[in-house]
Amino acid sequence: MRAPLAGMVGLALLSACVQPGEPLRQPQQTVVFNPDAYGLAVLPGNQRVDFGRSPKGVIPALTRELGRPTTMPLTGCPAGIIQRLRWADLELSFTPERFVGWRRGAEQRGLVCS
C-alpha cells in the first residue's frame, strides 16, 4: 500500500518543478558548419565534412546539431543528385553515395541545383 502512495507523492513533487505554460529551452548550438572550397569546416575543433563523404554520416551529424532539415525539390539539379536538404540558409546536395555541393545565399561550391 505504501509503494503506490510513495509513487504518487514523487509524481506530485516532480510536477511542481515545471511551471505550466513555461517554454522549453532549446539547446544552444555548440558547433558551427562553415562552408568552404572543400566542403564544410566544423568549428570549433578543426574538424571537416568534406565533399565525397557519405550522406549516411553527413545528414545525421548536421541534423543532430542544426535540427531537422527541409527537403528541397530536385528541379534544376545536375544529373546524379538525388537529395537536396536545407538547414536554415545552408543547402546541401547529395548523390546516392556522396555529399557533392553546398549553397549559402549567393555562395556555392561543388554540384548544386539552379
- Write out pLDDT tens, residues 2-23: 555 444 444 444 444 445 565 5
Contact at 8 Å (CB) between 75 and 113? yes
* Structural domains of the chain, count: 1
| 98 part of a folded domain | yes
| 24 part of a folded domain | no
77 sits in the region (left: phi over 0; alpha: psi -120 to 50; else beta) called beta
| 68 part of a folded domain | yes
| 55 part of a folded domain | yes
Residues of the domain holding 62: 51-105
| 8 part of a folded domain | no
- Mean pLDDT score across all residues of the chain: 85
The pTM for the full model equals 0.74
| 4 part of a folded domain | no
